[in-house]
Amino acid sequence: MRVVIVGGGFAGTFLAYYLCEMKASLPGLEIILISRTNYLLFQPFMVEAITGDIDIRHLISPLRAMLNYPCVDIRTTDAESVDFNRRIVYTSNGTVSYDKLIVATGSETNFYGIPGAKESCLELKQLKDVLIIRNTLLKSFERANIEENKETQSRHLTFAVIGAGPTGVELATGMCEFIHETLLKYYHRVHIEAINILLIDAAPRLLPGFETSLVEWAENRIKHMNIKLMLNHKVQKIDGDIIEFTNGSSIEARTIIWTAGIQASSFVRSMGLPYDHLGRLSVDSKLKLPNRPDVFVLGDAARAINLKTGEPLPPEGQVALQQAKYVANLLVAEQEGRPYPAFKFIRLGRLASLGSKNAITQILWFRFKGFKAWWLWRSVYLFRYRGMRNKLRILFDWTFSLFFDRDISLIE
Ligand SMILES: Cc1cc2nc3c(=O)[nH]c(=O)nc-3n(C[C@H](O)[C@H](O)[C@H](O)COP(=O)(O)OP(=O)(O)OC[C@H]3O[C@@H](n4cnc5c(N)ncnc54)[C@H](O)[C@@H]3O)c2cc1C
């Protein structure tokens, strides 16, 4: 059986790994992994790489090392389209035929067609974005440090993060701490009052999905950090440095980072199949495309329904990982001619960091905030990171950052 997996992210890579581990039950298994990059990017630690808590190189693991099995063939290329009738994937470097196709191409930033947003904002999705945001931050400080005048400095040092979900909150608080604990020590001419960090969201509440008590705690912490929280502010247009809101107000920020939403990858949206408002393909309870029993869609690209709530599952790493394991087991069951139940998502928890040494976590029935939550946050994600080599590298970075200052080199 030839399984073709498109997308070397959480869902695709872990599915390939689980299948290899179950190879004994899948005679003749051949896996072709089509991936745009030759590494797996561990997105939950991206903010820590921006702030220099971990080395940017330690965010990634080479796919060939993670999946060094004889049955795996990794092709670093872009998948372009699929002919479902002939069971062929077209890539930028030739075609690949399949018996089972797994679409796991994840998501990209969704600017919701807001005029100027795509052109004016930085985003946080790929590895290069980490370097771009980090360099923009450092360049702003280099530039401001040349200026005498506080107002001119302020123009360079106003950072707006749009989207107060976990990524936006982690980014705004992480940047704030990096600036106050590290950068201000070295940029002697920068006035502390010239620094403005804005966290903007259209909703009346930040961190959707988290319990109210944790959200309130996070909100207080954000305010205590002097981050300007602008809830109920829906962006209407962005014109260069000017963010305009639907309530008629506007604000100026030299650096604007968009973390307000995602949509399924363009590969999925260009398949010619119906997709929802976030570009996701609807799948049945076994994560298959309707009427296409040989095609599965996983992770951020899928609109899979949570059987317990009736709502679509959120775009989260834990969903992608559980789906990967489920499909591996399902393929074995199908091979053996056994019936297999529908996919059931089990929420293990929600975690969000608020700068280093602070976080909020809800794990099963337990709720934590502050340092304990932060320690848990780190342990949970470190546990998820695959391979001893990667775990040790991250552990070393964290230990190092406890005793030494974060790196502030501007590498272009
Ligand atoms: C900054 C950030 C922080 C996050 N933090 C958390 C967190 O703390 N907890 C959590 O649960 N989730 C978190 N997430 C979400 C989580 O990372 C995603 O839900 C998860 O990665 C989805 O897995 P996936 O396999 O669907 O997509 P991805 O992991 O994004 O993988 C998709 C892969 O497909 C590749 N690809 C795309 N198009 C093509 C193509 N045409 N051809 C070939 N390859 C292609 C991409 O390059 C990518 O490698 C975070 C996301 C971000 C951006």
125-168 pLDDT, tens digit each: 999 999 999 999 999 999 999 999 999 999 999 999 999 999 99
Tell me, what's the ipTM?
A: 0.98
Q: Are 262 and 109 in contact (CB under 8 A)?
A: yes
Among 300, 322, 325, 353, name the best residue to mutate to test ligand 1's pocket (greatest count of ligand atoms within 8 A of Cβ). Answer: 300
Q: Are 302 and 314 in contact (CB under 8 A)?
A: no
Q: Tell me, using a 6 A CB cutoff, whether residue 6 lines ligand 1.
A: yes
85 confidence band (pLDDT: 50, 70, 90): very high
Q: Which residues, including other chains, have CB under 8 Å from residue 412's CB and lie 6 or more apart?
A: 135
384 confidence band (pLDDT: 50, 70, 90): confident
To the nearest whole number, what is the mean pLDDT of the chain? 95
Tell me, in angstroms, the distance from the centre of ligand 1 to residue 105's CA. Answer: 8
Q: Are 363 and 369 in contact (CB under 8 A)?
A: no
Q: Vertex 398, ends 64 and 314: CA angle to 5°?
A: 65
Minimum-distance ligand 1 atom for the alpha carbon of 7: 34
Average of per-residue pLDDT across 104-115: 98
Q: Tell me, using a 6 A CB cutoff, whether residue 10 lines ligand 1.
A: yes
Equal CATH topology for 2-36+77-109+263-347 and 117-260+350-403: yes
Question: Length of the chain in residues, anyone?
Answer: 412
User: What is the residue extent of each domain of the chain?
Assistant: 2-36+77-109+263-347, 117-260+350-403
Q: Tell me, using a 6 A CB cutoff, whether residue 37 lines ligand 1.
A: yes
Q: Between the CA atoms of 331, 16, 266 and 270, what dihedral angle is there, to the nearest 10 degrees?
A: -40
Structure tokens at 87: 């069971």
Fold adopted by 117-260+350-403: FAD/NAD(P)-binding domain (3.50.50)
Q: What is the pLDDT of residues 339-372, one digit of tens each?
A: 999 999 999 899 999 987 899 999 888 899 999 9
**Amino acid found at 24:** A
- C-alpha distances (whole Å) from 380 to each of 1, 377, 385 are 35, 5, 9
Q: Between the CA atoms of 125, 127, 133 and 136, what dihedral angle is there, to the nearest 10 degrees?
A: -140
Q: Tell me, using a 6 A CB cutoff, whether residue 177 lines ligand 1.
A: no
Distance from C-alpha of 42 to C-alpha of 354, rounded to nearest angstrom: 19
The number of C-alpha atoms within 13 Å of 78 and in the hemisphere containing its C-beta is 7
For 2-36+77-109+263-347, CATH gives: 3.50.50.60
Distance from C-alpha of 305 to C-alpha of 274, rounded to nearest angstrom: 16
Could you tell me what percent of the chain has a pLDDT over 70?
100
Q: Which residues, including other chains, have CB under 8 Å from residue 305's CB and lie 6 or more apart?
A: 285, 311, 312, 313
Tell me, in angstroms, the distance from the centre of ligand 1 to residue 108's CA. Answer: 8
5 confidence band (pLDDT: 50, 70, 90): very high
Tell me, in angstroms, the distance from the centre of ligand 1 to residue 219's CA. Answer: 27
Minimum-distance ligand 1 atom for the alpha carbon of 80: 41
Q: What is the pLDDT of residues 192-218, one digit of tens each?
A: 999 999 999 999 999 999 999 999 999
> Can you give the pLDDT at residue 274?
93
Among 316, 323, 353, name the best residue to mutate to test ligand 1's pocket (greatest count of ligand atoms within 8 A of Cβ). Answer: 316
Check whether 228 has a pLDDT greater than 90. Answer: yes
> Can you give the pLDDT at residue 187?
97
Tell me, in angstroms, the distance from the centre of ligand 1 to residue 213's CA. Answer: 29
**CA diameter of the chain:** 75
Q: Which residues, including other chains, have CB under 8 Å from residue 162's CB and lie 6 or more apart?
A: 121, 168, 200, 201, 235, 243, 256, 257, 258, 259, 260
Tell me, in angstroms, the distance from the centre of ligand 1 to residue 53's CA. Answer: 21
